[in-house]
Amino acid sequence: MTKHVFVIGLDDFNRRELGTVRGAAEYEFHCLVDYETIVNPPSYPMADIMAEARRTLREAPAVDAIIGHWDFPTTSMLPILRREWGLPTPTLESVLYCDSKYWSRLANREAVPECTPAFQALDPYSKDPVADLQLDYPFWLKPTTAFSSYLGFRIENEDQFRDAMETIRDNVHLFAEPFDYLMQYCENRSALPADGSGATCLAEGIIGGRLCTLEGYVHNGEVVSYAVIDSLRGSNQVSFLSYQYPSSLPDGVQNRMKAYTETFLTHIGLDQTPYNIEYFWDPATDKIWLLEINPRMSKSHCPIFQIATGASHHEVAIDIAFGRRPTFPRAEGRYPMAAKFMPRVYGDAIVTRVPSADEIAAIKRRHPELRVEVAVREGMQLSDLRGQDSYSYEIGELFFGARDETELHQKFHHLMKQLNFQFSEVLPTNYGLV
Amino acid at position 136, single letter: D
**Residue from 375, 366, 376 nearest 411 by CA:** 366
Residue 148's pLDDT is 67
Mean pLDDT of 107-129: 97
pLDDT score recorded for residue 434: 39
Q: Is the pLDDT of residue 111 over 90?
A: yes
Contact 51, 67 (CB under 8 A): no
Round to whole Å and give the CA distance between 58 and 345. 45
CA dihedral 330, 404, 314, 213 (to 10 degrees): 110
- pLDDT of 329 reads 94
pLDDT at 432 over 60: no
351 bridge partner residues:
423
How far is CA 323 from its chain centroid?
A: 23
> Alpha-carbon distance 240 to 391, whole Å?
11
pLDDT of residue 23: 95
Q: pLDDT confidence of 431, banded at 50, 70, 90?
A: low
Tell me the percentage of the chain whose pLDDT exceeds 90: 89
Cα(139)–Cα(3) distance, integer angstroms: 48
pLDDT bracket for residue 250 (50, 70, 90) = very high
| pLDDT tens digits along 304-342 | 999 999 999 999 999 999 999 999 999 899 999 999 999
Q: For all residues of the chain together, what is the average pLDDT?
A: 94
Backbone φ and ψ for 227, nearest 5 degrees, come out as -155, 150
198-225, pLDDT tens digit by residue?
Answer: 899 999 999 999 999 999 999 999 999 9
Residue 387 C-alpha from the chain's centroid: 12
More confident residue, 384 or 83: 83
How far is the C-alpha of 228 from the C-alpha of 254, rounded, in Å? Answer: 7
Amino acid at site 328: F
Instruction: Please check the confidence at residue 428 and state whether its pLDDT lies above 60.
Output: no
Looking at the predicted structure, is the pLDDT value of residue 238 above 80? no
Beta-bridge partners for 27 = 3
Residue 429 has a pLDDT of: 42
The reported pLDDT for the residue numbered 390 is 76
Query: What pTM was estimated for this model as a whole?
Result: 0.90
Q: Are strands 27-32 and 3-8 parallel, antiparallel or unpaired?
A: parallel
